Structure 1
């Protein structure tokens, strides 16, 4: 009954409510002047499953206009109303409806006063195919979500040319049965968080984004699992930018473009100007073009090395500060001596050949062996605190005075010495003497191997920075005394002979 200038829907009921067409399955009322549908417009058509009302003058869809069609499955409302102005909240009240075409009606889904977003499709929950092409979809994502929330059984959705500029989040992700999605001919250019847009769409096989404003497709544009499931992807007639950001997409289609519709002729570069019209397939940037060496990388590396060196030098300086001070002092002494400012001292300028620093537990060896050898046999004069300190003066005063009178310092090192706090203080004192006169002024003598648990930082610094002699009875004794005598008689400023004997 299309194209008959019908002003209203004909009556299909006879007397007593009987139907003139009890077995009518499909009815076409397109291209008529029908301007109104009421709850009783389609009575007595119990088996009607397909209804066409395309290009009619229906400007307002009233509540329950199709509720009296219990078998209705397909409803075509292409370009009705010219334009369609109002949709009441129960206009699509039909639990049997599976396909709804509202294409070309220029309905303003972006105007909340013309429909209720929460209820417009709430009364047709079994809808599987919905075509809203050439209408105006809302830019507000909340409204977008409210419209489609009830449609959990959709398998095909067409939103072609619906003025969408930004893809809505958390809308399509609820459509787990959706197989085909048309988003072509809109103003979509880019999007973030692709999982909130296309995630969880486990049934999607066809995705149409043709003729939008998409310039770059990269590895974050679509979830990986979506691309692996798609059978058809249409991205043709988008203004692609042939720049390095496009490398991922270009490399992917080089390997596999079987799912791309209209490839390769529909995929052309628009930007930059010198690439305008070139097929994306023929864009062949090199790795060097897209990953040039940035001078900032060089600066970052240099700065990193400098910072690392500062940390290393700082750590060494903190750990070896005593040694560093000693070397600096020795360099100054060496320089001044070279300039003739510091006269070389000799043992004749001192009252004692050596000041002996030792622990009371080692007194027996000092008095019986050391003094006997150096004083009785070699004629040297040693300063021993048990014998030479002045009664009445404090220990610190005695130490200070007799160190000044001594040519060199003998430090008798043992485990008992390492455990003595007083001996550690004396080590600090003689270290100061070492800084002033050089490392030759101190001669450490190791009586026994020092247990690591007794080794203090002061003692370790002394032994690490000063050549020492190790006393051994028996075969090595003669070599020990020879090395000790030469070290005591060696002038300051020259390498001590003890360096030669410390390895015996």
Structure 2
């Protein structure tokens, strides 16, 4: 679908239209959409990534859909979504024999890190503490969730702090930087494991100095394992300075050959680079990273 069809549409109301099905990413032609209302339709399944290509989406209204039987694991996958109004659907969240085929308790709200309001009025919530706990396991961390962990070498510290971190935090992108977030007195390997597991994505800023660092290589191997488990869109590669053949390692070469990466350009093309960085960090996990 042509993404330029309705580029300025911010609010879409489709209430009471007897809609039976929504295709994944079916709203991708409306990139400025902030509010969607799908109340009182005939949907039986809410598919994975229905809202994933809407970077400005804030509110979803999905009420009075009595025929809804299945919510796929990452149906609500969205980094920008603030509120989900899911009341009066009579949806069976409670534990029954076919629970696993209807929804995944651990995944259903895991991929909405900005979520602040969740309305589940008049549904069948689970009575067992295990299922209920899995559904809301991430709610306590939503406002504290670190969206991106930054991996870089000390030789590139000045650029990372004066340019990258400054620009990203002006865009309200929350970053984990080791000297600022890591817990004092805790071994560095434990800190890395803790904060990478909390992160939405991992940013790797590469250069010759990065390739020479043993610690950076260890972190690179860690990210490779994460990438194998979560897919290539779980990491964002940035080439600050080209790595020559002498310093290139097999681990970095493997990452570069299998994952799109952003190459820093000062002067002409720099504005395009920064816009691509922001867009990539805000993309949901189902959307592959950009390359320039």
Q: For the superposition of Structure 1 and Structure 2, which TM-score range results when normalised by the shorter chain?
A: 0.5 to 0.7
Describe the shift of the 1:371–1:337 C-alpha distance in structure 2 as closer, same or farther (beyond 3 A): closer
1:371 aligns with 2:159: no
Between the aligned partners of 2:198 and 2:73, the Cα distance in structure 1 is 23
CA contact (8 A) 2:202 2:236 kept: yes
Between the aligned partners of 1:481 and 1:347, the Cα distance in structure 2 is 23
Instruction: Report matched runs for 1:29-428 at 5 Å.
Output: 341=104, 342-343=107-108, 345-348=111-114, 349=142, 351-375=145-169, 377-428=170-221
CA contact (8 A) 2:148 2:175 kept: yes
Cα deviation code 1:401-424 (max 9, x no counterpart): 111221111000000001111111
Describe the shift of the 1:346–1:441 C-alpha distance in structure 2 as closer, same or farther (beyond 3 A): farther
Cα deviation code 1:455-484 (max 9, x no counterpart): 111111111111100011112111111111
Question: Could you say which residue in structure 1 is the equivalent of 2:235?
Answer: 442
The CA deviation at 1:337 is 6.1
Q: CA RMSD in A?
A: 2.0
Q: TM-score, normalised by structure 1?
A: 0.31
Question: Could you say which residue in structure 1 is the equivalent of 2:273?
Answer: 480
Between the aligned partners of 2:113 and 2:149, the Cα distance in structure 1 is 12
Question: Could you say which residue in structure 1 is the equivalent of 2:251?
Answer: 458
Between the aligned partners of 2:113 and 2:206, the Cα distance in structure 1 is 24
The CA deviation at 1:363 is 0.4
CA contact (8 A) 1:347 1:489 kept: no
The CA deviation at 1:450 is 0.8
Q: TM-score, normalised by structure 2?
A: 0.53
Describe the shift of the 1:353–1:336 C-alpha distance in structure 2 as closer, same or farther (beyond 3 A): closer
SS of residue paired to 1:486: helix
CA contact (8 A) 1:346 1:407 kept: no
The CA deviation at 1:436 is 2.0
SS of residue paired to 1:469: strand
CA contact (8 A) 1:346 1:491 kept: no
The CA deviation at 1:495 is 2.4
Cα deviation code 1:91-144 (max 9, x no counterpart): xxxxxxxxxxxxxxxxxxxxxxxxxxxxxxxxxxxxxxxxxxxxxxxxxxxxxx
CA contact (8 A) 1:353 1:407 kept: yes
Q: Where does the alignment leave 5 or more consecutive residues of structure 1 unmatched?
A: 1-334
Between the aligned partners of 1:347 and 1:368, the Cα distance in structure 2 is 27
The CA deviation at 1:491 is 0.5
SS of residue paired to 1:379: coil
The CA deviation at 1:336 is 7.6
CA contact (8 A) 2:148 2:174 kept: yes
SS of residue paired to 2:279: helix
SS of residue paired to 1:411: strand
SS of residue paired to 1:352: coil
CA contact (8 A) 1:390 1:398 kept: yes
The CA deviation at 1:347 is 3.7
Describe the shift of the 1:435–1:347 C-alpha distance in structure 2 as closer, same or farther (beyond 3 A): farther
Question: Could you say which residue in structure 2 is the equivalent of 1:85?
Answer: none
SS of residue paired to 1:480: helix
The CA deviation at 1:352 is 1.5
CA contact (8 A) 2:238 2:261 kept: yes
The CA deviation at 1:346 is 3.4
Between the aligned partners of 2:149 and 2:112, the Cα distance in structure 1 is 15
